[in-house]
A and B are shown apart, each in its own frame.
Chain A
Amino acid sequence: MPSFELNGHTYETDEDGYLINLSDWSEDVAKHLAVTESVEMTESHWEVVNFLREYYEEYKIAPMIRILTKAIGKKLGKEKGNTKYLYDLYPGGPAKQACKIAGLPKPTGCV
Chain B
Amino acid sequence: MADYSVPEIQEDIKTPALAVGTMAHLKPYPAIEKHMVPLAFPKQRVDNWQEKGIEKLGDMLKKYRSLQVYLDICVKCGACADKCHYYLGTGDANNMPVARAELMRSVYRRYFTPAGKLFPGVVRAVDFDEEALHKWMTYFHQCSQCRRCSVFCPYGIDTAEITMAAREIMDAIGVGHKYSTEIICKVHDMGNNLGIPKPALKGTLEFLEGDILENTGHEVRLPLDEEGAEVLLVAPSADFFSEPHIQSLMGYAKVFHQAGIRYTISSIAAEAANFGMFIGSFAQKQKIAKRIAEQARELKVKRIVVGECGHAWRVAYSFWNTLNGPFDFLDPRYPVPQHICEFTYDLLQRGALTMDKEANDEYVVTMHDSCNVARASRMGDKPGGQFEIPRALIRASCNQFVEMDPETTHEKTFCCGGGGGLLTDELMDLRIAGAMPRVTALKQVMKKDKVNFMALICAICKAQFSKVLPMYHIPMETVGGVHQLVSNAIQLGAKKGIV
A contacts, CB < 8 Å to B: 15-16, 37-38, 59-67, 70, 83, 91-93, 95-97, 107-111
Contact of A16 among B197, B237, B425 (CB under 8 A): B425
Tell me the smallest distance from the CB of B126 to a CB of chain A, in Å: 30
User: Which B residues are in CB contact (< 8 Å) with A15?
Assistant: 29, 426
Q: Is the CB of A110 within 8 A of B460?
A: yes
User: Which A residues are in CB contact (< 8 Å) with B246?
Assistant: 64-66
Q: Is the CB of A61 within 8 A of B207?
A: no
Q: Which residues 365-398 of B sit at the A interface, judged by CB distance below 8 A?
A: none
B-side interface mostly? helix
Q: Given known contacts A59-B197, A65-B243, is B426 in contact with A109 (CB within 8 Å)?
A: no
Q: Is the CB of A60 within 8 A of B237?
A: no
Q: Which residues 153-206 of B sit at the A interface, judged by CB distance below 8 A?
A: 179, 182-183, 186, 192-197, 199-200, 203-204
Q: Is the CB of A38 within 8 A of B197?
A: no
Bound-state Cα–Cα, A64 to B222, Å: 15
Q: Is the CB of B1 within 8 A of A110?
A: no
> B423 near A: Cβ within 8 Å?
yes
Q: Which residues 302-355 of B sit at the A interface, judged by CB distance below 8 A?
A: 309
* Chain A to chain B contacts (Cβ below 8 Å), 12 pairs: A15-B426, A59-B203, A61-B194, A61-B197, A65-B241, A65-B246, A108-B193, A110-B193, A110-B237, A110-B463, A111-B238, A111-B463
Bound-state Cα–Cα, A111 to B195, Å: 12
User: Which A residues are in CB contact (< 8 Å) with B182?
Assistant: 108
Bound-state Cα–Cα, A62 to B243, Å: 14
User: Which A residues are in CB contact (< 8 Å) with B467?
Assistant: 93
Q: Is the CB of B186 within 8 A of A109?
A: yes
With most chain A CB atoms within 10 A of its CB, the pick from B182, B193, B200 is: B200
Q: Is the CB of B196 within 8 A of A111?
A: no
Tell me the smallest distance from the CB of B314 to a CB of chain A, in Å: 14
> B399 near A: Cβ within 8 Å?
no
Bound-state Cα–Cα, A110 to B193, Å: 8
| CB-based nearest B residue for A90 | B1
Contact of A92 among B1, B211, B238 (CB under 8 A): B1
User: Which B residues are in CB contact (< 8 Å) with A64?
Assistant: 204, 207, 240-242, 246
| CB-based nearest A residue for B459 | A110
